[in-house]
Every structure is written in structure tokens, then in C-alpha cells.
Amino acid sequence: MTRLLRLLKIFTVAVRFGLDEFLLGHERFRILRGPVKVLLFWRRLKGPRAERLRLALEDLGPIFVKFGQALSTRRDLLPADIAEELAKLQDRVPPFESKLVFKTLERVYAKPVDQVFAEFHSSPVASASVAQVHFAKLFDGAEVAVKILRPEIDSVIANDVALLYMGASLVETLWAEGKRLKPREVVAEFEKHLANELDLMREAANASQLRRNFEDSGVLVVPEVHWDYCTSEVMVMQRMSGTPIGQIAALRARRVDIPRLARTGVEIFFTQVFRDGFFHADMHPGNIFVADDEQYIALDFGIMGTLSDVDKNYLAQNFLAFFRRDYRRVALAHVEAGWVPKDIRVDELEAAIRSVCEPIFDRPLKDISFGRLLTRLFAVSRQFNVEIQPQLVMLQKTLLNVEGLGRQLDPELDLWVSAKPFLERWMSEQVGWRGFLRQIREEAPHWGMLLPQVPRLIHRLLAEDATRGLKSELLELKAEQKRQSRFLILATLLLAALLLWTIFGSG
């Protein structure tokens, strides 16, 4: 019954915001356009289709908002106008009641809240679709932030995700290109990210890893996790204070060096990507503060991205090749990564990339958007049925956020100047003598463990060979004995038959 009512709500919102336009725009449903127009004569639609889709998702609630946010990153699947509009979705949700907060805490800790925290502020400082945050103080005096999952959020998500799967199946059935767009895979990817966000122990581990990666860096501060207080429903971490990075006027009032702050943000991002292969994938202004010493403060670690060496090599080669206008190298990077169909012609892919990207380079380097480059690349990839990896789509979304934030801080920011040293350094560390030395360093501990065992391993190998040889000889001897036994038995039987014939035949 609950799911049926939810379906009715979705239908009502879709009609109100004119989302039937997406369906009726297809040639297969052209015959329905007239009747629908007559039935909905009273409706007055305002704004373009992409804006109306965004407003409809906001009306449907937090899970659909999060789905829209996730969908906005799939620029390899969506038209540009829709992707741009969905990227504006904001996860603004009213907080849940303080009595539910205390109920969750008492259930998780199996004791009253005042026995867990010396102080606990019942009013939340932040509220989102999955969880909300309260300030508190531990008995040792530590100031902390307590993140608490919304009560029964898992059942709400399960119902809405089931409806999303239903919609994805309809898309696959009704549209000829439905299967190529892989709507069910998109929903499955979204469901996986939601499952990760519902486990606050995972988020705590992400925060701990990022903190360790930037320990003593002097540019990025990550709150310390208080593990003794963390569960899958509650995360307790160090309370951070600073100015939200979106408040540029407040930063200027503090006399913060804004251009340097913008460059530092880009450097932090590329360090995460090309040094660690582990990056904060939700770097919007609400999740970034600036400390009094002008260090960045990272918050909210529910969505993190990881990159393999293959991914990093793909990105570095693409970015460097793009800015050198070496489009064949870009095409070959796809082939080497194994994401291109076997029957693809590299020269055709190269020509398509050139036709899309060449116009970009009519402008100064500082005006070229890295995120737009990836967007264009994904658009070309879609034409050639290239499988775009989810981790790279997540990276593209993050890069667009970082780029937008950097240029909001400093319109003259030249991302190429900031990024080029990271790309070239990473490439030099992967190939040539630097790469060779790095591999030796990485393998040396394994060699140190194996070298003392070499004599014993050689002895075992020789012994196994000798044993194997002896076993082989014994098997051959047994086979020969069997052959000889069969011959003796046969000869005996023949001799016996001959004797019997001689005795009885002669008589």
C-alpha cells in the first residue's frame, strides 16, 4: 500500500511538472500527444524541461534528489542541458526530532546520553537526507561532532530504489536505445553509493585514511575519528571550526590570500588523485571550510573515489595529450585501457576526438575547463560504445566541483599551471629510470623475505624432480610387470589348451 501511494505521488508530480514530455517526445508515442494535450488543457508549464525535471525531483524528496545528483555525473548518458540542471540539486532536508536523536543514541550505546557525552546539543548544526550532525563534548573535554543516521532511513531508501528499478525497466522496454543507456546499472550504482553512506563505520574509515594521507601536509586538515564511539549508525569525530569556503566576503574580511587558496585547492585535489589514488568525491562548498591558518578543512566522507594505476595512467596521458593536441595518443589511451570494443578503428576515434576538442583550444589555457574536456571525451566515447568506468565519472563530477570552486575564488586561476607538474611528475615516476627505481623500492621488501628461502626452495624443487623421476620409473616398472603377468597368464592358458587337445584329441 505504501509503495502504491508513493507511485501515485510520483505520477502526480510528473504530470504537474510536465515530465510526460520526455515520454511523448519519442516517435513511438507520437499518437498520444493530442489526447494528452486535451486531457491536460488546464496545465501551464513554466521553464525548460531540464529545470522542470530538477524541480520535480526536489518535490519528490531526498532520495530522488540524491538520485538526480548521481545522475548528473553520468554526462556520458545524459543530454548536456539535463546534466547541467541536475548538478544544481541541493540536498536540503528538515532535521528530524531531537527525541528520535536521543532514542537512537540510547539504543546504540545502551545507556543514557548524559552517560556517554558530558554535553550534547540537541539542535543539529547540519541536516541532510541520510543523516544529521550535532555538536557535543566528551568527558575528557574533547569537542566533537556527532553524525547520526535518520531513523528507518533504510526502509525509505528500499522503497524508493525499488520504484527507480521499476522506472529503469520501463526505459529499457519502451526505448530502442534503453539497453544501451543501461538504466538499471545506473540505479544499481546509485544503490551501492547509498548503501555506503548508510554505514557510518565506512565513512569513519574513509576519514581516517584521508587524514593519514595528509598528515603533516600543512594544506589539508581532516577531523580525527573517535573510534570508541563509532558504530554503523553513529560517527563521532573531532569538531572543526572555520569559515565555509563559499563565504568569499568573510574570507576577504579575514585577509585570506584568495588566489593562493584557489591554487592550494587544486593542488590538494591532484595530490589525492595522482599521488594517493583516493579522493574526496563530494567536494562542494558545504563540505569545505578554511581554518584560521588558511588550511583547508574537509568534512563529510560518505562518498570517496579510488583510482588504480591504470586509471591514473589513463587520466595523465589524456590530459597531457589533450594540451599537446595529440589526439591519436588520446585514442590509444582508450585502447590500452581496454575500454574500447575490439572492432574499433583508432583513426576514426582520433578524428572524432579532434573534431570535438579542437574548438576548445582557440581560447587561452587558463580558460580551458578540465571538467569540460572530460565531458567532451565522454560524449565521443558514447558514440563509439566505449565503456566509461564509474570511478572516472565520479572523478569528472569532483573535478567540475573543484574547478567551479577554484574559479569562484579566483577567476584568473590557471588550472593547467597548477595541474601540469602533478601530471608530468606522475608520468615520469611510471616510465623510464624513475619508474624502474620505484618498482625496485616497492619489490625490495618481498625480495628480502624470499632471498633467505632460495636455497631451501631450490632443494625442494630438486627433491620434487627426483621424487617425480623415481615415481615415474616405478610406474613404468609396474606397467612392465603387468604386461609380463598378462603374457604369462595367456601363455599358460594356451599351453593348457594345447595339452588338453593333445590328450583328448589323440584318443
Per residue in 202-224, pLDDT (tens digit) is: 999 999 999 999 998 899 999 99
H-helix segments, 384-453: 390-409, 415-430, 432-450
Average pLDDT across the chain, whole number:
77
Q: How far apart are CA 157 and CA 155, in angstroms?
A: 5
SS3 track for 407-423: HHHCCCCCHHHHHHHHH
Determine the pLDDT at residue 20: 67
Q: How far apart are CA 382 and CA 379, in angstroms?
A: 5
Q: At what angle do helices 62-72 and 183-197 cross, to 10 degrees?
A: 120
Parallel, antiparallel, or unpaired: how do β-strands 220-221 and 296-298 relate? parallel
pLDDT confidence band for 193 (50 / 70 / 90): confident
Determine the pLDDT at residue 37: 66
Determine the pLDDT at residue 46: 78
Given a contact cutoff of 8 angstroms between Cβ atoms, the answer to whether 280 and 299 are in contact is no
Q: What is the CA radius of gyration of the chain?
A: 33
Report, as residue numbers or ranges, the catalytic residues: 282
> Is 4's pLDDT higher than 70?
yes
SS3 33: helix
Instruction: Report yes or no on whether pTM surpasses 0.85.
Output: no
Given a contact cutoff of 8 angstroms between Cβ atoms, the answer to whether 318 and 333 are in contact is yes
* 284-288, 413-417, 498-502: least confident range: 498-502
Determine the pLDDT at residue 91: 62
Q: Kindly give, in sequence order, each residue whose CB lies less than 8 Å from that of residue 165, ignoring residues fewer than 6 positions away.
A: 184, 187
Q: How far apart are CA 137 and CA 127, in angstroms?
A: 19
